[in-house]
Structure 1
Amino acid sequence: MLATGAIVAVNGLNPLSLLTLGIGGVLAMSSDKLLRIYAPNLTSKLSSKNETQELTTEIIPTPGEKCLAGVPPVVATSGEFRIYRQAELNRTTASLLANGAILIAGEDGSGKSVLAVAVVEKLQADGFMVAFIEPATPKQMLLEIAHQFDIPTEDLEGKSLTADKLKRTIAGFLEENTAFLVLDDAHCCDAKFRMWLKQLCKSGVPMLLLATDPPRKDVFINIPRIELKPLPEQAIREIMIQAAAERAIALKPSELSKLQERASGNPMLAARAVDEEYLGLDVESGDHRRYFDITPLILLIGIGFVIVRLIGRGTNDQALYIFGGIAAAVFMGLSRILYNLPRENQRIQ
């Protein structure tokens, strides 16, 4: 049957078509052989490139989507990072574009620097000039700002500009151009440098400051702030899965849950917990900060003193009545003092 079908197919073609078809087949076979013989590296590169393309076309589900068993919810290649604080990114960028200053506050490892890098990349992608600096001496930071903005650091005679002249030059450049300042770990900067930043804020220079527990003074008290909250459990789990994949270790769901408790929403602590598990270190608990609200306890104590005073009055017990009155007065005074203290001092660490 196959032979008959082949004969029928051949009979349907003229001799010229048959000749062309045969020559094309011979050339294809010979070119493939020649390529494998004389250019084996090229064929291996092509095959590896095709394999890479097949791997990179893998579907990455979002946190809200369900994943197959054994497949991590996030697959990222090396050198990439995922922004879990998209709302903060959009809010920060919008504030800067409105010629405003913004402060991002959060504990160490909460993702401030990652967020700052994302803001810088987004602004630079839109064609804006951005200077991203880290704490150093005031002169070094001024020179770094001038270098990133291509501002001359020498006068006409070739002498280096002093710190005061650099401040005036940079301030004049920022007044004439639309540019942004991004300063990481601003709480570590010199107080005089922060006062210079305060003057720039008053003149309308857009800037982004990132700090851990910034003091309520100088530039930090003038600009609005965004407090970075702990990441949700799903995000922390994804960070741990990615960190474990990079270290080629397999973590059970129970182990992930235990490590997740130690991280407490801190992405840096989440990655460190995986490192400690990889090294086989036995860590009892995380070093994140835990805050407890003692307001209900204070209210119960105050109510208890009032009840004692009422009991003393109802039973005609003068000693109990006086004790309840004194205790209630002392309690009201202490609670008022605690209420007027700064917010950081009201927290139990």
Structure 2
Amino acid sequence: MLATGAIVAVNGLNPLSIIALAIGGVLAIAPKLTSKLSSKNPTTQDPAPAIEQIPTPGEFRIYRQAELNRTIASLKANGAILIAGEDGSGKSVLAGAVVENLQDEGFMVAFIEPATPKQMLLEIAHQFDIPTEDLEGKSLTADKLKRAIATFLEENTAFLVLDDAHCCDAKFRMWLKQLRRSDAPMLLLATDPPRTDIFINIPRIELKPLPEYAIREIMVQAAAERAIALKPSELSKLQERAGGNPMLAARAVDEEYLGLDVEGADHRRYFDITPLILLAGIAFVIMRFIGLGTGDQALYIFGGIAAAVFLGLSRLLYNLPPEDRRIR
């Protein structure tokens, strides 16, 4: 009876009405089906936004992994390498990571700092377990210590790491140069090393400023250790003062913590004097034309000579290699 009524009802409608009813039913059921499918497949939901990782207070992180790998590879190949950079650029931190990696692999490493030549030789001998006294109980002289250390390095796989090598005595650096002739592996760290003795004999890695994200992480970590909260605007201001220097980044946070108001940047700044040179050249050319217009022969000749000298010097300076490409 119900089926017959349904048929009669359908027969009473025209085809367009039937199509409209079908579309309306599909649209009414679609949202319910979609909600059921989404509840059965939760993996199709949008992932939660990633949370920014903030360094844990006291956590150690190396930001110069490429330099670390190159240094270790060079030392293992019985080579020597010089790491140069401004104060606070992270040379000692990088050297500590090198020493830790080598010691973890079972190698012997002597890590020393500048002192008198005899004290440094004794420190090397102690770290390498080299006897510092003869059979009669007398302390070895500096020359005997040098020979003992050189013999030890020839017979064993050991590494010598010297921090602030530019502060060492020139005679001690010459002894290091003699060690290099026998392929003794060593790592030297220096700030603006001179182009003499051992520094001119070994390849160099120049530490560039750290990227902005690294300096910001260092500042966030330093602020967390001191239990202070810094706004993004304050971090940006401190980051500008520190430049790419990690030590200055930590110092800037300390000064902010102590409430010290320090203006200006602490890192090195270099100014481009090219506009001043161009202005000088233009002034010489104008001087020549003024002399020509006023009939002042002396001014005309002086301007011409000065312009010619300026053009020659500017061409010479232009042909020089950039500072970062020169061997220093």
Aligned to 2:65: 86
Contact 2:57 2:225 in 1 (8 A): no
Look up the equivalent residue of 2:132 and give its one-letter code. T
Write the distance in 2 (CA, Å) between the matches of 1:159 and 1:146.
Answer: 15
Task: Choose from 148, 158, 167 the match for 2:137.
Answer: 158
Distance across 2 between alignment mates of 1:185 and 1:268: 16
1:202 pairs with one of 161, 174, 181? 181
Change (3 A) 1:231 1:191: same
Distance in 1, Cα, partners of 2:116 & 2:319 = 38
Between structure 1 and structure 2, the one with the greater Rg is 2
Question: Which one of the candidate residues 143, 164, 167 is aligned to 1:188?
Answer: 167
- Alignment partners' CA distance in 2, 1:155 and 1:67: 65
The yes-or-no answer on 1:273 pairing with 2:252 is yes
> 207, 215, 225: which one pairs with 1:228?
207
**2:107–2:157: 8 Å Cα contact kept in structure 1?**
yes
TM-score, normalization by structure 2: 0.76
Structure 1 residue 283, shift from structure 2 partner: 0.6
In structure 1, the partner of 2:148 is 169
Give the Cα separation in 1 of the matches to 2:212 and 2:130: 45
In the other structure, the counterpart of 1:75 is 55
Paired residues in the alignment total: 273
List per-residue Cα deviations over 1:226-257 (Å, max 9, x = no partner): 11111011000000000000000000000000
Cα distance in 2 between the residues matched to 1:207 and 1:107: 20
1:100 equivalent to 2:79? Answer: yes
Which has the bigger relative contact order, CA under 8 A and spacing at least 6? 2
Report the CA distance shift for 1:139/1:67 in structure 2 as closer, same or farther (over 3 A).
farther
Q: Which amino acid aligns with 2:180?
A: C
Secondary structure in 2 matching 1:223? coil
Q: Aligned-pair distance for 1:87?
A: 0.8
**Pairwise CA distance, 1:312:** 6.5
Q: Return 5+ residue gaps in structure 1 as ranges.
A: 1-65, 345-349
Q: How does 1:1-349 map to 2 (within 5 A)?
A: 68=51, 73-78=53-58, 80-295=59-274, 297-299=276-278, 301-302=280-281, 305=284, 309=288, 318-331=297-310
For 1:275 and 1:67, locate their aligned partners in 2 and report how far apart those are by CA, in whole Å.
30
Q: Report the secondary structure of 1:131's partner residue.
A: strand
Report SS of the residue matched to 1:156. Answer: coil
Identity of aligned residues (%): 84
Within 1, Cα distance between the matches of 2:66 and 2:293? 58
User: What's the CA shift string for 1:317-345, capped at 9, x where partnerless?
Assistant: 744541222213443676669999xx79x
The structure-2 alpha-carbon separation of the partners of 1:322 and 1:236, relative to structure 1 and needing over 3 Å to count, comes to same
SS for the counterpart of 1:271 is helix
Aligned residue identity for 1:203? S
**Aligned-residue offset at 1:292:** 2.1
* C-alpha distance in 2 between matches for 1:123 and 1:220: 23
Q: Deviations over 1:123-154 (max 9, x none)?
A: 11222111100111111110110011111101
Compute the displacement of 1:99 (Å).
Answer: 1.3
Question: Normalising by structure 1, what TM-score?
Answer: 0.71
Deviations 1:183-211 (A, max 9, x none): 00111111111111111112211111001
Runs (5+) with no aligned partner, structure 2: 1-48
Deviations 1:42-93 (A, max 9, x none): xxxxxxxxxxxxxxxxxxxxxxxx853xx5x332353x31000111111111
Q: CA RMSD in A?
A: 2.7
SS of alignment partner, residue 159 of structure 2: strand
